[in-house]
């Protein structure tokens, strides 16, 4: 069942999404070689609790941390731990909060130092594909239009692997609501989009093949070929003509640019006219 949000509810959800953006901004300022991913999780958890919210991932189906920190060939759901970040690492940081009963859930991929050309291109193109998908998230279109746009820009155009096992989702009072939002699919297929539908759109794109496996811990998803994977996620609300992006990359990008330890991917603009 798809749950459509009222204008008031959308404003509350924007606050939750923005709190995640602010937490990711703190991460962007904090990242440097030598720190552990556990220290990042600790900072995120404290930041969320200091802002009248709770980390939604903690204990979700038994997930043991407040964030997912996925380094290099880890696609998603990486456990924060004792491993220290080093030059050339790419790090997807995925954060969820519940504030006033409403969920925010979004993610950004950072790189320490200067990744090679192949990897920096993967980061840029994955971010672009998220916006290509968002451009199609307008009333009257279908989920498949979003999926198709993401797949076209990544698999078709660049030959990257689009992960099939994990998908985006509806978001609201629950972390995962209908509908599912795959990052691959057919134009014009799937549920119809109506105003007030809030979606977490989250391409997970592999430099190599699309195949992944889950580790013994039951969570950590890695690429089978060991090549890196990138993950970007925004919370958006379907509207007429142009989607409303509830989360905000601009503050994260500003912090990323200010941090000399980080590679900065370029901001991507949303164009309307997704017909």
- The residues that touch ligand MF3, with contacts defined as CB under 6 A, are 57, 60, 63, 68, 77, 94, 96, 105, 169, 200, 202, 233
| Nearer CB in complex with ligand MF3: 80/274 | 80
177 sits near Co ion (criterion: CB under 5 A) = no
> Nearest distance from residue 234's CB to ligand MF3, in Å?
11
Question: To 10 degrees, the CA torsion angle through 176, 205, 34, 37?
Answer: 20
Residue 241: CA atoms inside 13 Å, Cβ hemisphere, count?
0
| Nearer CB in complex with ligand MF3: 176/242 | 176
> Nearest distance from residue 169's CB to ligand MF3, in Å?
6
> Nearest distance from residue 68's CB to ligand MF3, in Å?
5
> Nearest distance from residue 76's CB to Co ion, in Å?
9
Letters for 65-104 (x = contact with Co ion by CB under 5 A, - = none) are: ----------------------------------------
> Nearest distance from residue 118's CB to ligand MF3, in Å?
25
Three-state SS for the chain is CCCECCHHHHHHHHHHHHHHHHHHHHHHHHCCCCCEHHHHHHHHHHHHHHCCCEECCCCHHHCCCCEEEEECCEEECCCCCCCECCCCCEEEEEEEEEECCEEEEEEEEEEECCCCHHHHHHHHHHHHHHHHHHHCCECCCEHHHHHHHHHHHHHHHHCCEECCCCCEEECCCCCCEEEEECCCCCCCCCCECCCCEEEEECCEEECCCCCEEECCCCCCEEECCCCCEEECEEEEECECCCCEECCCHHHHHHHHHHCCCEECCCCCCCCCCCC
| Nearer CB in complex with ligand MF3: 79/274 | 79
Which listed residue (200, 207, 230, 238) binds Co ion by CB under 5 A? 200
| Nearer CB in complex with ligand MF3: 190/203 | 203
| Nearer CB in complex with Co ion: 142/231 | 231
Please check whether residue 217 is in contact with residue 68, taking contact to mean a CB–CB distance below 8 angstroms: no
68 binds, among ligand MF3, Co ion, none (CB under 5 to 8 A by kind): ligand MF3
> Nearest distance from residue 200's CB to Co ion, in Å?
4
| Nearer CB in complex with ligand MF3: 63/160 | 63
Q: Name the residue with tokens 């998230």.
A: 137
> Nearest distance from residue 123's CB to ligand MF3, in Å?
18
105 sits near Co ion (criterion: CB under 5 A) = yes
248 binds, among Co ion, ligand MF3, none (CB under 5 to 8 A by kind): none
């Amino acid at each position: 069942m798809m749950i459509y949000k009222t204008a008031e509810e959308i404003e509350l959800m924007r606050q939750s999404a923005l709190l995640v953006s602010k937490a990711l901004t703190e991460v962007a300022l904090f990242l440097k070689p030598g720190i552990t991913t556990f220290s990042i999780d600790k900072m995120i958890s404290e930041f969320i609790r200091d802002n009248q919210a709770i980390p939604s991932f903690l204990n979700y189906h038994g997930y043991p941390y407040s964030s997912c920190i996925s380094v290099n060939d880890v696609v998603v759901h990486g456990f924060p731990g004792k491993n220290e970040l080093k030059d050339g690492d790419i790090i997807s940081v995925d954060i969820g909060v519940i504030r006033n009963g409403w969920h925010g859930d979004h993610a950004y991929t950072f790189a320490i130092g200067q990744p090679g050309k192949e990897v920096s291109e993967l980061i840029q193109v994955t971010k672009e594909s998220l916006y290509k998908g968002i451009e199609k998230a307008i009333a009257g279109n279908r989920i498949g239009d979003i999926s198709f746009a993401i797949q076209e820009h990544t698999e078709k155009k660049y030959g990257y692997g689009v992960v099939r096992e994990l998908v985006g989702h509806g978001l609201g009072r629950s972390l995962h609501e209908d509908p599912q939002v795959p990052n691959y699919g057919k134009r014009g297929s799937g549920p119809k989009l109506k105003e007030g539908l809030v979606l977490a759109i989250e391409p997970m794109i592999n430099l190599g093949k699309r195949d992944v496996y889950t580790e013994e811990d039951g969570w950590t998803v890695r690429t089978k070929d060991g090549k890196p994977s990138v993950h970007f996620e925004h919370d958006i609300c379907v509207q007429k003509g142009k989607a409303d992006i509830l989360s905000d990359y601009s503050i994260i990008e500003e912090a990323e640019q200010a941090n000399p330890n980080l590679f900065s991917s370029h901001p991507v603009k949303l164009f309307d006219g997704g017909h």
